[in-house]
Amino acid sequence: MSVKSNNCSCCTQDDTQKYDEIANIIDLYKDKEGSLIQILHHAQEIYGHLPLDLQRFIAGSLNKPLSEVSGVITFYSFFSTKPRGKHTIRVCMGTACYVRGGKKLVERLQDILEVQLGETTKDGKFTFEIARCIGACGLAPAIMIDDVVYKQVNVNKLESILSKY
C-alpha cells in the first residue's frame, strides 16, 4: 500500500521507506477497533514526528477524516507534529516542584538551551517541555531527561546534568 513513489520530489528515498513501513503497520492494525493511537505511536517511532503530510497519509489509509487523526495528535502530549530532539527534557511543574523552584529551572533551562517551552534546540539535541507531575513530589523539584528522573534539582546542577548528554 505504498503511496509515496521513489520518483517523488517532495521526499527522500528514506522517507519513502518510512512511509512503506508505516503502511505495513496500518495494514496490521486497520481492521481493529480503536487502533488509531497504536498506529500513530508506531508512525511517530518510525518517522520521528507526525507532520501534516503523514497525517493525511494515515487518514486516507484508514478512511478517516484528517480532522479525526489531527484531533488525536493534538490532544495527546506524547505526539509531536514537529521534529524532536535526540533527548527530551521535562521539568515537573506539579505543585510540589513548582513551589520548590520548578519555575526557576524552566527559566534557567531556557537560557542554557536558548529555546522556549515546546521547542527543540538548533543542534537537534534537546526538546524542552514541562510535565504536570512525574511522581517525585517528595524530592522536588524534579526533571526528567528521556526516562531518567533527577530529583532535588536546583539551577546550579543543571549544566552538570546536561553535560551527561
Element (H, E) at 153: none
pLDDT tens string 5-38: 434 445 567 889 999 999 999 999 988 999 999 9
pLDDT of residue 77: 76
Share of the chain above pLDDT 70, in %: 93
Q: Is 97 annotated as a binding residue?
A: yes
* Angstrom distance (rounded) from CA 55 to CA 65: 10
Quote the Cα angle for 37-41-47, to 5°: 135
Which H or E run includes 71? helix 66-75
Phi then psi dihedrals of residue 90, to 5 deg: -125, 125
Q: What is the mean pLDDT of residues 108-115?
A: 97
Q: Average pLDDT, stretch 141-161?
A: 97
Is 11 known to sit in a ligand binding site?
A: no
| Alpha carbon separation from 150 to 17, 100, 153 (Å, rounded) | 37, 14, 7
Mean pLDDT of the chain: 91
Buried b (16+ CB within 10 A) or exposed e, 133-157: ebebbeebbbbbbeeebbeebeeee
* The model's pTM: 0.68
Percent of the chain beyond pLDDT 90? Answer: 82
What's the average model confidence in pLDDT over 99-118? 97
10 annotated as ligand-binding? no
Q: How far is CA 26 from CA 23, 33, 34, 80, in A?
A: 5, 12, 12, 19
Q: Which three cell numbers mark 36? A: 488509531
Q: Mean pLDDT lowest for which of 12-21, 36-45, 106-115, 145-154?
A: 12-21
DSSP type of residue 37: H
The model's pLDDT over 45-74, given as tens digits with 9 standing for 90+, comes to: 999 899 999 999 999 999 999 999 999 999
Confidence tier at 111 by pLDDT (50, 70, 90): very high
